[in-house]
Amino acid sequence: MEKMGVCSICGKGAKLFTCSLCGREVCAKCYVAGACIKCLEGKK
Ligand SMILES: [Zn+2]
Ligand SMILES: [Zn+2]
C-alpha cells in the first residue's frame, strides 16, 4: 500500500515505499528493487 509522507532519506514529501531491509519509509527516487538506497549503499 502506498502512502504520502516525508522521505527518510532525502526529506522530500512524496509517495512512500517501505524498505524491506530497514523498514525506512522512502520516496521512489530513494527506493530501488525493494530496498532503500542506504541499504544498497551499505551492502557492498
Ligand atoms: Zn527520497
Ligand atoms: Zn533500507
Using the mean position of ligand 2's atoms as its centre, give its distance from the Cα of residue 1 in Å.
17
Q: Which residues surround ligand 1, an ion (CB under 5 A)?
A: 7, 9-10, 27, 29-30
The pTM score is 0.82
pLDDT of residue 44: 58
CA distance linking residue 11 with residue 29, whole number of Å: 11
Of 35, 9, 40, 7, residue with least CA distance to 21: 35
Of 28, 7, 31, residue with least CA distance to 20: 31
Question: Which cell numbers hold the place of 26?
Answer: 522512502
* pLDDT tens profile 7-44: 999 999 999 999 999 999 999 999 999 999 999 997 65
Using the mean position of ligand 1's atoms as its centre, give its distance from the Cα of residue 23 in Å.
14
The domain spans of the chain are 3-42
CA distance linking residue 20 with residue 12, whole number of Å: 20
Of 27, 22, 32, 28, residue with least CA distance to 8: 27
pLDDT of residue 43: 62
